[in-house]
Amino acid sequence: MKTYARRITVHLLAVALTASAQASAQTDPLPSWNDGPAKQAIIKFVQTTTDQSNPKFVPPAERIATFDQDGTLWVEKPMYTQVIYCLERVPAVVKAKPELAKVEPFKTVLSGNREAMAKLSKEDLVKILAATLTGMSVDDFEAEAKKWLDSQKDPRWKRPNTELTYLPMQEVLKYLRANGYKTYIVTGGGQDFVRVYADAVYGIPPEQVVGTVGATKYGYDKAGKPFLLKEPKLLLNDDNAGKPEGIHLMIGRRPRAAFGNSVGDQQMIEYTTAGEGERLAMLVLHDDAQREYAYGPAKGLPNSKVGTFTQALYDEATKNGWTVISMKSDWKRIFSFEP
Nearest-approach distance from CB 64 to a copy of itself, in angstroms: 8
Nearest-approach distance from CB 202 to a copy of itself, in angstroms: 14
Report how far residue 238's alpha carbon sits from residue 243's, in angstroms, rounded to the nearest whole number.
5
Nearer to a copy of itself, 99 or 276 (CB): 276
Nearest-approach distance from CB 306 to a copy of itself, in angstroms: 23
Report how far residue 324's alpha carbon sits from residue 330's, in angstroms, rounded to the nearest whole number.
10
Nearer to a copy of itself, 198 or 324 (CB): 198
3-state class of 12 per DSSP? helix
Other C-beta atoms closer than 10 Å to the C-beta of 165 total 19
Nearer to a copy of itself, 270 or 288 (CB): 270
Nearest-approach distance from CB 244 to a copy of itself, in angstroms: 5
Report how far residue 97's alpha carbon sits from residue 75's, in angstroms, rounded to the nearest whole number.
33
Nearest-approach distance from CB 21 to a copy of itself, in angstroms: 21
Report how far residue 66's alpha carbon sits from residue 106's, in angstroms, rounded to the nearest whole number.
35
* CB neighbour list of residue 308: distance below 8 Å, 6 or more residues apart: 262, 263, 264
Other C-beta atoms closer than 10 Å to the C-beta of 25 total 7
Nearer to a copy of itself, 87 or 317 (CB): 317
Return residues touching a copy of itself (CB under 8 A).
1-3, 5-6, 8-10, 12, 61, 138, 182, 191-192, 195, 199, 205-207, 209, 213, 215-218, 225-226, 228, 235-236, 241-242, 244-245, 248-253, 267, 270-271, 274
Sheet holding 64-67: strands in order across?
Answer: 226-236, 209-220, 182-190, 64-67, 257-260, 280-285, 323-326
Nearer to a copy of itself, 104 or 199 (CB): 199
